[in-house]
């Protein structure tokens, strides 16, 4: 009897069951190595991508005359059978080392030895890299939609806070009056940057490695451009060595995930503070709050706390991959098997956390009375200094004057706006009766009318920029309330019939159809 390892009917080595390479070795793999080597528990979720890539590869082999039409038909039918079996039965007690081996074994079971032709000219290096990229591009699309939903929720919250005063904070100390909409938009713009980043990550993922082989390319006349088009990639990888080793796109996606985590954490920290009894600015809905097993009065902002906590693991996944990649030599190395856990965990975390935070924001309500009750008159100290500047006093001098007035108010335990005119004139004779107008939040916000400011006009410009950002990418409008819709269509300034005749209104309707916002209430007339 020969001592050479034998192949089983599945095309796998009898000495190394579950592998595709065993005939090179004398003797079986050590049990400890089997456990270390196996990645099926992680990469099994890529079975759809593997089947899809294998179908495209079979088509490429046919175009290269490696397969005849009947062989192609049998392989495609067999792969569809594999997909149906996995959907119906799962993987059972599969002993293979990875998903690619499982799919190949099942294909051989479906159509016999013909299935062995499918791997012609293909390495698991380019096969695996292709499957992960297919997963990544689809994940980017899903995450982007979740981020858009969160942005829409923040947009709606901003509209609810458009005419609501709120303390603006620096160092967590009351600083200057703002509109509540300004605070909501500050978070929205951060997530819009994340949407830009997710698009960059998808673009980076859209480079096709299939056809690169293990390292040197494919010896068969494979039309990689046709493969690219069939699988939905944007370009073909230009270098086969780089193609099988490149994980930059995963770094881009994990960095984006980490930044989304940072932005979710900052928003969540605000929600935790603002929903507390001490602040009370925001009330989270019952659907996104929890209670206590002991204290019946508790209303815990767990959605925000959990989102804040998730940011740590998103940062960790990025560090994991960067550390994995930093010391690798040129070409594929088995270390790269570890890329998927970090990728999958980041995508899974975002796809659970972002929708939950979006739901919390969508159903959150400002508490105007509580917000207005905590607005201290010292918020207007800068306005008081600016008042003197407008009277011709140099700002550095006004800063010192108002600082002394603040100290006087604190020492007398009275609000800054209740100091008498005589008290103020003792510090500078430029103070007049009209100084009382300084202590008005609407006036304070309206004078801050520069781009990016907190005046009503500046905030409306920010809202337009948000809508332009969305419209630029998918032709949709951030519109979900009656007042917002009428504002966008104010140029029509007519009745319902005129709106229906408007081309702009047609674009709005198309946008809602794409968004699936079936619950939107359109106005009967523009007012």
125 within 8 A of 213, measured Cβ to Cβ: yes
Q: Give domain 22-120's CATH number out of 3.40.50.2300, 1.10.275.10, 3.40.50.300, 3.90.1010.10.
A: 1.10.275.10
Note if 292 is an active site residue: yes
Radius of gyration of the chain (CA): 31
d(CA 500, CA 182): 33
Residues of the chain with CATH 1.20.200.10: 125-372
Task: Find residue 177's DSSP bridge partners.
Answer: 167
User: pLDDT below 50 — which residues of the chain?
Assistant: 1-11, 13-15, 474-527
At 10 the pLDDT is 44
Question: How far is the C-alpha of 297 from the C-alpha of 112, rounded, in Å?
Answer: 67
Intervals of CATH 1.10.40.30 along the chain: 377-446
Give the active site residue among 2, 35, 171, 293: 171
Cβ neighbors of 130 (< 8 A, separation 6 or more) are 49, 53, 208, 209, 210, 231
Token couple for 137: 């591009």
pLDDT tens readout for residues 94-135: 788 999 999 999 999 999 999 999 999 999 999 999 999 999
171 is catalytic: yes
Condensed to tens digits (0 to 9), the pLDDT of residues 244-303 reads: 999 999 999 999 999 999 999 999 999 999 999 999 999 999 999 888 888 888 889 999
Q: What is the pLDDT of residue 473?
A: 59
Verdict on whether the full-model pTM lies above 0.75: yes
CA distance 103 to 113: 14
| 70-73: Cβ within 8 A, 24+ apart | 71/114, 71/117
CATH class of 125-372: mainly alpha
Name the segment(s) of the chain with CATH classification 1.10.275.10: 22-120
CA distance 166 to 441: 9
464/501 Cα distance (integer angstroms) = 23
Compute CA distances 319 → 196, 244, 340, whole Å: 22, 21, 14
Q: Please tell me which residue in 41, 73, 276, 292 is annotated as part of the active site.
A: 292
The C-alpha atoms of residue 80 and residue 73 are separated, in whole angstroms, by 11
Residue range 377-446 in CATH 3.40.718.10 = no
| Separation between Cα atoms, residue 504 and residue 485, nearest integer Å | 11
Residue 269, both tokens = 């920290």
Paired tokens of 280: 């009370």
Strand 282-283 vs strand 365-366: parallel, antiparallel, or unpaired? antiparallel
What's the longest Cα–Cα distance across the chain? 113
């Amino acid at each position: 009897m020969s001592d050479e390892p034998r192949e089983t009917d599945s095309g796998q080595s009898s000495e190394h069951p579950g592998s595709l390479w065993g005939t090179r070795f004398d003797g079986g793999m050590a049990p400890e190595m089997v456990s270390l080597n196996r990645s099926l528990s992680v990469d099994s979720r890529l079975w759809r991508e593997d089947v899809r890539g294998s179908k495209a590869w079979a088509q490429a082999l046919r175009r290269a005359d490696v397969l005849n039409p009947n062989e192609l038909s049998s392989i495609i039918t067999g792969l569809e059978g594999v997909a149906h079996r996995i959907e119906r039965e799962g993987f059972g007690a599969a002993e293979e080392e990875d998903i690619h081996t499982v799919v190949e074994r099942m294909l051989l079971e479906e159509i016999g030895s013909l299935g062995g032709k499918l791997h012609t000219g293909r390495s698991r290096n380019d096969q695996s890299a292709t499957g992960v990229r297919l997963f990544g591009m689809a994940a980017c699309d899903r995450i982007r939609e979740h981020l858009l939903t969160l942005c829409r929720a923040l947009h709606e919250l901003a509209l609810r806070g458009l005419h609501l005063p709120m303390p603006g904070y620096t160092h967590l100390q009351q600083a200057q009056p703002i509109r509540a909409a300004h605070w909501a938009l500050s978070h929205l713009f951060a997530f819009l940057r994340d949407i830009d980043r997710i698009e960059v990550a998808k673009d980076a993922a859209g480079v096709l490695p299939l056809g690169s082989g293990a390292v040197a390319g494919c010896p068969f006349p494979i039309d990689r451009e046709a493969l690219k088009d069939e699988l939905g990639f944007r370009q073909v990888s230009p270098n086969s060595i780089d193609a099988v080793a490149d994980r930059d796109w995963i770094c881009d996606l994990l960095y984006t995930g980490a930044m989304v985590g940072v932005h979710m954490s900052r928003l969540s920290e605000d929600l935790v503070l603002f929903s507390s009894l001490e602040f009370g600015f925001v009330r989270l809905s019952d659907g996104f709050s929890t209670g206590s097993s002991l204290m019946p009065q508790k209303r815990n902002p767990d959605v925000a706390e959990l989102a804040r906590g998730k940011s740590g693991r998103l940062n960790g996944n990025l560090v994991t991959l960067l550390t994995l990649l930093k010391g690798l030599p040129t070409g594929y190395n088995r270390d790269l098997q570890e890329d998927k856990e970090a990728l999958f965990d980041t995508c899974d975390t975002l796809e659970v956390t972002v929708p939950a935070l979006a739901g919390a924001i969508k159903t959150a309500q400002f508490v105007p009375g509580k917000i207005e009750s905590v607005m201290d008159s010292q918020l207007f100290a800068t306005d008081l200094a600016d008042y003197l500047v407008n009277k011709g006093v140099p700002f550095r001098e006004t800063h010192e004057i108002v600082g002394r007035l603040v100290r006087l108010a604190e020492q007398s335990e009275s609000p800054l706006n209740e100091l008498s005119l005589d008290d103020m004139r003792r510090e500078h004779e430029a103070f007049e009766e009209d100084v009382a107008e300084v202590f008005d939040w609407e006036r304070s916000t309206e004078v801050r009318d520069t781009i990016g400011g907190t005046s009503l006009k500046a905030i409306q410009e920010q809202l337009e920029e948000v809508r332009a950002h969305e419209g630029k990418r998918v032709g949709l409008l951030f519109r979900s309330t009656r007042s917002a819709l009428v504002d966008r269509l104010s140029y029509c300034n007519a009745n319902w019939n005129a709106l229906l005749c408007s081309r702009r209104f047609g674009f709005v309707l198309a946008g809602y159809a794409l968004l699936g916002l079936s619950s939107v209430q359109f106005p009967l007339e523009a007012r």
